[in-house]
């Protein structure tokens, strides 16, 4: 872990940014393996990673700081959620330290989203903010993400990211970012679904239309495209 992480445009400069992302995925994967196999070593490793970052991290900065928290904070949150509810060996003090990291470092960065950026930025922050709201049992935080998904002013809101045809705000940019945005918004919807809230069906299943449109295009079918 790093005390001060920086991610510049397109991850340049990269000061602890790649380590933050890699460790987030590792913590999530170990937590998932723990849930699937009941092998204690996986839970212990997930907790070790989460705790190490909670103990050392003081700040995340530079141009892509919000994007980094959006992309990778989600994995840390899901790992912690697994541990909190299924592994009785994660000390309460360590849980509280992670809670402080979420409130004091993650949330201030993503609270205002990034309305002027390409929509995958907002989408990434939506998935993390909603996961944070669940872990912290913070309904205000959860609802902030839910409301922005439904009617936010930025490009990541469901009605702004997709046209009625399913064309994505980033379709004409490249397919990597388009599919990344789909992923982040699907994660947001799934987190809400687990909490009993249906965001999948928003705007006549607009997210599904985005998946279908993108799949058709990438499989070589003709799709309606508006420049």
Question: CA-based diameter of the chain, in Å?
Answer: 55
pLDDT at 131: 98
Cα–Cα distance, 91 to 55 (Å, whole number): 13
pLDDT at 199: 98
Query: Which parts of the chain fold into alpha helices (H)?
Result: 17-37, 40-56, 65-86, 92-101, 107-110, 119-135, 139-151, 158-161, 175-194, 202-218
pLDDT (tens digit, 9 = 90+) per residue, 6-56?
999 999 999 999 999 999 999 999 999 999 999 999 999 999 999 999 999
Q: Which residues of the chain have pLDDT under 70?
A: none
């Amino acid at each position: 872990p790093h005390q001060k992480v920086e991610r510049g445009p397109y991850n340049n400069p990269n000061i602890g940014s790649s380590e933050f992302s890699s460790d987030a995925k590792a913590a999530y994967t170990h937590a998932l393996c723990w849930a699937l196999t009941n092998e204690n070593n996986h839970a212990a490793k997930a907790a070790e990673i989460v705790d190490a970052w909670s103990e050392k991290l003081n700040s995340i900065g530079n141009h892509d700081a919000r994007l980094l928290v959006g992309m990778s904070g989600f994995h840390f949150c899901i790992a912690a959620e697994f541990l909190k509810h299924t592994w009785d060996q994660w000390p309460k003090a360590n849980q509280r330290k992670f809670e402080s990291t979420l409130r004091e470092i993650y949330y201030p960065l993503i609270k205002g989203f990034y309305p002027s950026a390409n929509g995958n930025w907002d989408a990434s922050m939506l998935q993390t903010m909603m996961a944070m709201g669940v872990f912290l049992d913070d309904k205000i935080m959860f609802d902030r993400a839910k409301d922005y998904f439904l009617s936010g002013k930025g490009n990541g809101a469901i009605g702004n990211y997709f046209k009625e045809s399913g064309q994505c705000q980033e379709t004409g940019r490249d397919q990597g970012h388009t599919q990344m945005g789909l992923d982040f918004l699907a994660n947001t919807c799934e987190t809400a679904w687990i909490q009993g809230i249906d965001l999948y069906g928003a705007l006549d299943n607009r997210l599904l239309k985005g998946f279908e449109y993108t799949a058709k295009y990438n499989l070589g079918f003709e799709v309606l495209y508006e420049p």
